[in-house]
Amino acid sequence: MKRNLFFILTLLILSINQTSFSQYNQDSLQIKIDRIVRSYVDTNKAALVIGVIRKDGTNQFSKRYTFGHLRHDTASPRPDSLSIFHIGSVTKSYTATILSMLIQNGGPLNLNDLVEDHIPLNIVKAPVFVNSMGDTIKMRIIDLATHFSALPDDPILPVNDSTSYQMMYHYLNNHRLSREPGECYLYSNLGVSLLGVVVTHTLGNIIDTLFIQKICNPLNMPDTRITLNSEQESRRATGYAANGDSVGYFKNSWPAFYAAGGLYTTIKDFTKYLEFNMGLSNAGMQNVLDSAHKIRRVTNDTCAEPNSTGRVGLVWQMQILDAAKNPGFYYTWKNGGVPGFTSFIGFGDEAVEILRYLNEENSTNITQTSQSIPESFKLYQNYPNPFNPSTNLEFGISKWEFVSLKVFDIQGKEVSTLVNEKMNPGTYKIEFDGKGLPSGVYFYKLETGGFTDTKRMILLK
């Protein structure tokens, strides 16, 4: 989505194309990427770094593109292959890679094991669900790795701008699940953070060290780290809020949520990670990729979308690019976002089309109308109402949260997804265009981790 924000954006794309390689030479690719990303650089003054890998049979090339500046003043350096960015939730895929290693090496755990069998029980407990019959349903490791744990997303209020492991353990020890684990997809940073506890307890080392030992060193990624040294700090890009102020470096989920979003990286390292996930440079770990990328469950969004075309592997998500044009084409991806930074890694048959879909054709022109933080989540009545053919929908976000805003017809059929991502606190406005829809009553629904509201609107033509 396009936003009127000022931020540093890290974007990584790859493409595998089975048609003629010559028609996708580097010059034409540069033109396509320039056209697609220009709105970010011109409108948001964002710094972007993009990595592209193309492969067709024995033909392959890797290319990196940079845009903007590392700070908001144009006299600041431009990003390069060694500029360091925070990749947020893409970190989850690294945690899933280590889990896949454990599985493929024959243990000492497997996906159907109970979580409680692989955590230090004298310190932390895995929450359970008690059904109406009094049965206790326990979560399994696969539930954590596929966002089916029934744990909320970010429920812990930070203290002194951070969340300690002790705070996370206290929350887990006193939490009772509200639904059965394994039943519904509910994106959860807390769930993957608990998965981090599973792998660190199993392997006997902290997650920072495991990332380096198991992934970064074998793939020669020296700048992919949770903790940066002084030289790396000097290469770190600055993230900004909508008003142009520096947001510093997001840390109010650290260190407890390191496994879910703590990594920094460069486009040079990130491209190596991409090559690994494409199977082009797997350091003898192809079976790890087979496990991590395997489709496991349907992303049915709190059980409200049983017919969803989305799928999830071990953290990795799979989506059909365009169901009408290519009903069988899934691309595999993971995105990440913390205040000031956005990241994306994806691979499939035509990643330039993925980039266009995400940033042009699927754009909804959301704008932030106020930087003041609302006291609570709020969905306002659309205006104008009735409308023909477009109307404005406004909503308030009281904390950094995953937000879904969808439009449904009178039969309850979804007709449009306007927002489906993590968002910073603030008040936002988005335009809904009813062109091509029949006159009638429609409903728009806002959902976050703990808030749901629906309002009615009328399209008159």
Structure tokens at 270: 């990130």
pLDDT digits (tens, 9 = 90+) for 408-454: 999 888 888 888 777 778 889 998 988 889 999 999 999 987 899 99
Checking if the pLDDT of 398 tops 90, the result is: no
Residue 258, pLDDT above cutoff 90:
yes
* Together in a domain, 254 and 324: yes
Mean pLDDT across 119-146: 96
Q: pLDDT at residue 20 above 70?
A: no
Are 215 and 327 part of one and the same domain?
yes
Q: Select from 329, 361, 393 the last residue of a domain.
A: 361
Number of domains, the chain? 3
Residue 16's pLDDT band (cuts 50, 70, 90): very low
Assigned token pair, 264: 């920094």
| DSSP 8-state class, residue 19 | S
Do 448 and 30 contact (CB within 8 A), yes or no? no
Q: For the ranges 101-115, 165-179, 198-212, which has the lowest average pLDDT? A: 101-115
Residue 212 has pLDDT above 90, yes or no: yes
DSSP string, 84-104: EEE-GGGHHHHHHHHHHHHHH
Question: Residue 371's pLDDT is what?
Answer: 62
Mean pLDDT computed over 390-414? 89
Give yes or no: residues 150 and 223 share one domain: no
pLDDT at 34 > cutoff 90 = no
pLDDT computed for residue 26 by the predictor: 59
Query: What is the per-residue pLDDT for 8?
Result: 47
Please give the mean pLDDT across all residues of the chain: 84
Asked if the structure places residue 2 within a domain, the reply is: no
pLDDT at 17: 46
In a shared domain, residues 224 and 349: yes
Amino acid at 155: P
Q: Exposure pattern of 152-184 as b/e (b: 16+ CB <10 Å)?
A: bbbebeeeeeebebeebbebbeebebeebbbeb
Q: Give the residue-averaged pLDDT of 66-88.
A: 86
Confidence label for 36 from pLDDT (cuts 50, 70 and 90): low
pLDDT bucket at 35, cuts 50 / 70 / 90: low
| 418 in Cβ contact with 457 (< 8 Å) | no
229 and 310: one domain?
yes
Judged against a pLDDT cut of 90, whether residue 264 lies above it is answered with yes
Q: What is the pLDDT of residue 9?
A: 47
pLDDT greater than 60 at residue 351:
no
CB 281, CB 62: distance < 8 Å:
no
Tokens representing 220? 């020669």
Q: Give the pLDDT score at 21.
A: 41
Distance CA 299, CA 234 (A): 40
260 within domain boundaries:
yes
Around Cβ 450, how many Cβ atoms within 10 Å? 10
For residue 190, give the H/E element and its range.
Answer: helix 189-203
What residues does 86 pair with on adjacent strands? 264
State which amino acid sits at residue 419: V
Residue 47 sits in the same domain as residue 134:
no
Q: Are residues 316 and 219 in the same domain?
A: yes
**For residues 43 and 167, which has the higher predicted lDDT (pLDDT)?**
167
Residue ending a domain, choose from 361, 396, 413: 361
Distance between CA atoms of residues 274 and 137, nearest Å = 37
Order across the sheet with 401-409: list the strands.
Answer: 414-423, 401-409, 440-447, 452-459
340 with 217, same domain: the answer is yes
In whole angstroms, what is the distance from residue 224 CA to residue 217 CA?
10
State in Å, rounded, how far the first CA of the chain is from the last one: 28
- Distances in whole angstroms, Cα of residue 167 to Cα of each of 159, 171, 256: 9, 6, 8
**What is the rounded CA–CA span in Å between residue 104 and residue 101?**
5
Q: Calculate mean pLDDT across residues 18-29.
A: 51
Residue 43 and residue 2 in contact, taking contact as beta carbons nearer than 8 Å: yes
80 and 104 both lie in a single domain: no
**How much of the chain exceeds pLDDT 90, in percent?**
49
Mean pLDDT of the 188-206 span: 97
Give the range with max mean pLDDT: 137-141, 320-324, 358-362.
137-141
Tell me: do 240 and 339 sit in the same domain. Answer: yes
In the three-class reduction of DSSP (H, G, I as helix; E, B as strand; rest coil), residue 65 is classed as strand
Whether 378 and 455 map to the same domain: the answer is yes
- Of 317, 334, 361, which one is at a domain's C-terminal end? 361
Residue 427's CATH number:
2.60.40.1930
Domain span at 157: 97-203
Question: What DSSP character marks residue 361?
Answer: I
Residue 4's pLDDT is: 31
CB atoms within 10 A of CB 78: 13
Cα torsion for 254, 256, 260, 265, to the nearest 10°?
40
C-alpha span between 362 and 383 (Å, rounded): 22
Q: What is the CATH number of the domain that holds 231?
A: 3.40.710.10
Contact 291, 110 (CB under 8 A): no
- Out of 90-94, 99-103, 240-244, 308-312, pick the least confident: 240-244
Give the per-residue pLDDT at 6: 39
Classify residue 3: in a domain, yes or no. no
Q: Which of 122-131, 354-363, 402-411 has the highest mean pLDDT?
A: 122-131
Band (pLDDT 50/70/90 cuts) for residue 325 is: low
Highest mean pLDDT among 16-25, 206-215, 278-287: 206-215
Of 76-90, 149-163, 201-215, 349-363, least confident by mean pLDDT is 349-363
Model pTM score: 0.76
Beta strands per DSSP E along 73-220:
84-86, 128-130, 136-138
**ω into residue 386 within 30 of 0, thus cis?**
yes
User: What's the pLDDT score for residue 360?
Assistant: 44
Strand-pair partners of 59: 56
Q: Are residues 221 and 335 in the same domain?
A: yes
